[in-house]
Chain A
């Protein structure tokens, strides 16, 4: 990072010249959800990118491993966000190789916070990047989630979190479905349910696309490290939810009292 800023400062996200006028139309990523369970944390994202009222991409990938024990899901301007993640991954790996140890989970979360803050100028022009960071804290032996705002403000979320345009609906769904004794399998089902509800009410969030076989990306981070569910596994979850929703379009019902 310091090397990069010394040699090629223009490559850092914060040092770009800002457009002087006008709003840039660029693809935006939409909904990311995460939930913890006793053995770790699950992070998932839908596959849609929108540009205004147009679907820019149907199969974009918005959840990336940051390192062995953490992952980041991105909402906001896709191009900037993907590059931010690339730089973030690089920094974690670089630190690990140079120092011989990995950063603490807090350290990683703080680093991401600084990177988002450096993008504030762009965010003011409508090119915001708002990621969700989830990781397994090896020292405390539990999964943790960090959410951010455009100014780089960082806050740890307990239980579940969502970001992006469909986050309001996803959070509502998770609020009703979340329990603190979920198994890994239940947790993955929960996040896909939440994404389904987000897609149901938010036009910018994509639901499972059975015809094209495009399903949400679901990742699990536990003591064994980062694992992305295979397409088969995530399609299995999406299909079983879809089958239930054919009978009950609004999904599982929570008790009234």
Chain B
């Protein structure tokens, strides 16, 4: 007597998408940025053992937000795909595009199959090229689509807000320290616009460094090196960050304008007291490009 409720395909897909999105939103956000010598991955991760970022192949890195067991599964699949491909053909024949395609197929199949629940993950696959023009960053949302990204990308909880923040401030040719600081600033902004401090121990940072002499370009940045990069300007950076938080909403147009006015004549002084001006200068350039 009891007939099953009719659920339209549109509704079913919307429900699944919402389910996946909610799962991803519970996770902490992470960002991937291009800098002069490569690509940097930054995320907040209290665990030392369970990584959000990983090496897939010589020039390819992987970042994931969402459920650990699901993206770990995908990561291992990716490593296998890459290693098998590289062994069968040549190391140069393993590309981020190929890998992103495989991930898209997998995620897409799982998303539209009714037998399984959709994966609550969002991935980033990045490949560092010989020059900045050769860098590739792909974002793979839970439904199996591929988004080709440039410059900066954020995934996870409040990804939208963070990517808006990054889009306004990221520019080409940043140094690693600059990119890292920008990433941490973007991550430490809460949804309500307030700022919280993320200590270096809670950060997971990795780079794909094209200047690395080894064939494998992926490297984790930990401990002393991370602290040194973060603290390259000492307390100036901290006060700077706070200042930004007070005045700025995610669409910090006016903030950038005032900053750039003060920083327009500063050139590119890298450290010490020039830092605040420097930040203004780069915001300015970023604004022009976007």
Known contacts A11-B88, A87-B87: A100-B51 contact under CB 8 Å: yes
- A11, A90, A97: which contacts B54 (Cβ < 8 A)? A97
Q: In the complex, are the beta carbons of A94 and B88 less than 8 A apart? A: no
B83 interfacial by beta-carbon distance below 8 Å: yes
Q: In the complex, are the beta carbons of A98 and B87 less than 8 A apart? A: no
B102 interfacial by beta-carbon distance below 8 Å: no
Q: In the complex, are the beta carbons of A94 and B79 less than 8 A apart? A: yes
Residue of B nearest to A7 (CB): B84
Contacts of A4 in B (CB 8 A): 84, 87
Minimal beta-carbon separation of B51 from chain A (angstroms)? 7
B76 interfacial by beta-carbon distance below 8 Å: yes
Q: In the complex, are the beta carbons of A3 and B86 less than 8 A apart? A: no
Contacts of B128 in A (CB 8 A): none
Assembly CA distance A9 to B129 (angstroms): 33
Contacts of B88 in A (CB 8 A): 8, 11
Contacts of B87 in A (CB 8 A): 4, 11, 86-87, 90
Q: In the complex, are the beta carbons of B80 and A90 less than 8 A apart? A: no
A184 interfacial by beta-carbon distance below 8 Å: no
A209 interfacial by beta-carbon distance below 8 Å: no
Per-position contact with B for A1-36: 1 when CB-CB < 8 Å, else 0? Answer: 001100110010000000000000000000000000
Assembly CA distance A5 to B167 (angstroms): 46
A202 interfacial by beta-carbon distance below 8 Å: no
- A3, A11, A86, A100: which contacts B80 (Cβ < 8 A)? A3
Contacts of B83 in A (CB 8 A): 90, 93-94, 97
Contacts of A100 in B (CB 8 A): 49, 51, 54
Assembly CA distance A7 to B84 (angstroms): 10
Residue of B nearest to A96 (CB): B55
Assembly CA distance A8 to B80 (angstroms): 13
Contacts of A98 in B (CB 8 A): 76, 79
Q: In the complex, are the beta carbons of A97 and B86 less than 8 A apart? A: no
Residue of B nearest to A83 (CB): B87
Residue of B nearest to A87 (CB): B87
Assembly CA distance A97 to B83 (angstroms): 10
Assembly CA distance A89 to B54 (angstroms): 19
Q: In the complex, are the beta carbons of B79 and A97 less than 8 A apart? A: yes
- B49, B56, B84: which contacts A3 (Cβ < 8 A)? B84
Assembly CA distance A4 to B83 (angstroms): 10
Residues facing A in B215-238 (CB within 8 A) are: 216
Contacts of A7 in B (CB 8 A): 84
Assembly CA distance A249 to B56 (angstroms): 52
- A11, A87, A90, A97: which contacts B55 (Cβ < 8 A)? A97
Minimal beta-carbon separation of B224 from chain A (angstroms)? 18
Per-position contact with A for B84-114: 1 when CB-CB < 8 Å, else 0? Answer: 1011100000000000000000000000000
Contacts of B84 in A (CB 8 A): 3-4, 7-8
Where the two chains meet, the residues of B that have a C-beta atom closer than 8 Å to any C-beta of A are 49, 51, 54-56, 76, 79-80, 83-84, 86-88, 216
A-B contact pairs, 28 of them (CB 8 A): A3-B80, A3-B84, A4-B84, A4-B87, A7-B84, A8-B84, A8-B88, A11-B87, A86-B87, A87-B87, A90-B83, A90-B86, A90-B87, A93-B83, A93-B216, A94-B79, A94-B80, A94-B83, A97-B54, A97-B55, A97-B56, A97-B79, A97-B83, A98-B76, A98-B79, A100-B49, A100-B51, A100-B54
Please give 20 more A-B residue pairs, beta carbons under 8 A apart, in addition to A8-B84, A94-B83. Answer: A3-B84, A4-B84, A4-B87, A7-B84, A8-B88, A11-B87, A11-B88, A86-B87, A87-B87, A90-B83, A90-B86, A90-B87, A93-B83, A93-B216, A94-B80, A97-B54, A97-B55, A98-B79, A100-B49, A100-B51
